[in-house]
Amino acid sequence: MSDNEQAIIEATALTMRYPGGVTALSDLTLSVEPGITGLVGANGAGKSTLIKILLGLLTPTQGRVRVLGLDARTQGERIRGRVGYMPEHDCLPDDVTATEFVTHLGRMTGLPPTAAKEQAAEALRHVGLHEERYRQIGTFSTGMKQRVKLAQALVGDPGLLLLDEPTNGLDPAGRDAMLALIQRIGTEFGIAVVVASHLLSEIERICDHLVAVEGGRLLRAASLVSMTRALPWLAVEVDEGTARLSAHLASTGLTVREQGRGLLVRVDEETVFDAVRDAVADLDLPLTRLEHRRHHVEELFADLEPEQGEPMEAQL
C-alpha cells in the first residue's frame, strides 16, 4: 500500500479471544489515516477491546497492530506516551482543581514539571476552560467535566487521540460544542483522532473516515462521503392522507418511501424541507411528526449482510 507510512493505525488480521472463550475481535484488518475517524459499533461490538489493544494494554491473540509506527505488542509504553485516551466513563476526582489534575496527568505522560504546567494550561484553554481552570472539578457541569477529560487526553501534544464516547451524557448543545471541539482538534491542531461511538448521527458530522465494527469484525471502512451518501432522510407523519402526500411529493421530483405509518423523504438539498412543509400546507393535512432521521448503529446494521452493496439504502 502506498500510504503505509502515513497510516496512524495499522491492524492486520487482529484476533482477540479472552480466556473465558469470548471472542471480542476476529480477523480484523483496518487502517486508520490522519484526520478524524469514527469507530462505530453497538455496545459489545469490540470497540473497547480494540482501544485497549491499540494502547498496548491487551495483547491480541493473533495478528499485528502498529500505532504511530510502533508495534503495540512490544512498544506499548512508547505508544501510551504519544497517545491521548479519553475514557467513556467518569474518571475525574472532584476535590482538585482542573489545572492540578491535568498538570499531574501531564507529568504522568512524561512532561517535565514546568512543561506539564504550561501544557495543562494550554490544553484547558483549547477545550475552553481557561477561566474555570482554578475551580474544583466537583463544581463543574457534565459538559465541563467532559472537557476536562478531553484536556487530560490532549495534554502533552499526542500524535493520536482515542476518544471513547466523548458525547456521553451531554445535552444537545453540549454535544454540538464537544463535536465542534473534536473537529477543531482534528483539523486545526492536526492531531489524528479516533472517535468511538454508537451514535452514527453524531460521528457523521465530524468524521473524515468511518470504521464500522460488529461482533468483533470489520463491517465497513470507508471515507464518510461514500458511506453516508444515502443517509439523510426526513420522516414525515400525517394523521390522514399519507397516500395523497406521497403522490404530491413524488410529483415534485422527491424520493419518497413509505415506512410504517409515515413517509421517508430523502433530503438531497436544503429546499426539500421547504417543499415538504409547503406540500403539507397545500394539502391541508394534519401533520403529527416531521423529523430529520437519526440512526443508531444498531438500527442501521441490524439485519445487514456485510457483502451487500448499499447497506444504508437497503436498510431504509
Shortest distance, position 43 Cβ to other proteins, whole Å:
12
- Residue 120 near residue 99 (C-beta atoms within 8 A): yes
Shortest distance, position 292 Cβ to other proteins, whole Å:
32
Query: Considering the rule CB under 8 A, would residue 165 count as an interface residue with other proteins?
Result: no
| Chain residues 224-253 in contact with other proteins, contact rule CB under 8 A | none
Query: Considering the rule CB under 8 A, would residue 93 count as an interface residue with other proteins?
Result: yes
Query: Considering the rule CB under 8 A, would residue 140 count as an interface residue with other proteins?
Result: no
Query: Considering the rule CB under 8 A, would residue 188 count as an interface residue with other proteins?
Result: yes
H or E element that contains 264: strand 262-266
Query: Considering the rule CB under 8 A, would residue 95 count as an interface residue with other proteins?
Result: yes
- Residue 32 near residue 162 (C-beta atoms within 8 A): no
The span of 118-126, 243-251, 266-274, 300-308 binding other proteins (CB under 8 A) equals: 118-126
Size of the site for other proteins (CB under 8 A): 42
Shortest distance, position 94 Cβ to other proteins, whole Å:
7
H or E element that contains 186: helix 172-187
Toward other proteins, which CB reaches closer, 166 or 262? 166
Query: Considering the rule CB under 8 A, would residue 286 count as an interface residue with other proteins?
Result: no
- Residue 64 near residue 13 (C-beta atoms within 8 A): yes
- Residue 155 near residue 84 (C-beta atoms within 8 A): yes
DSSP structure string for 32-82: E-SSEEEEE--TTSSHHHHHHHHTTSS--SEEEEEETTEETTT-HHHHHHH
Toward other proteins, which CB reaches closer, 188 or 274? 188
Query: Considering the rule CB under 8 A, would residue 133 count as an interface residue with other proteins?
Result: no
Task: Tell me the C-alpha distance between 16 and 22, whole Å.
Answer: 9
Among candidates 197, 203, 152, 157, which has minimal Cα distance to 179? 203
Binding site residues, other proteins, CB under 8 A: 48, 51-52, 55, 57, 77-78, 80-81, 83, 85, 87-96, 100, 104-105, 107-113, 115, 119, 122, 126, 152, 156-157, 164, 188-190
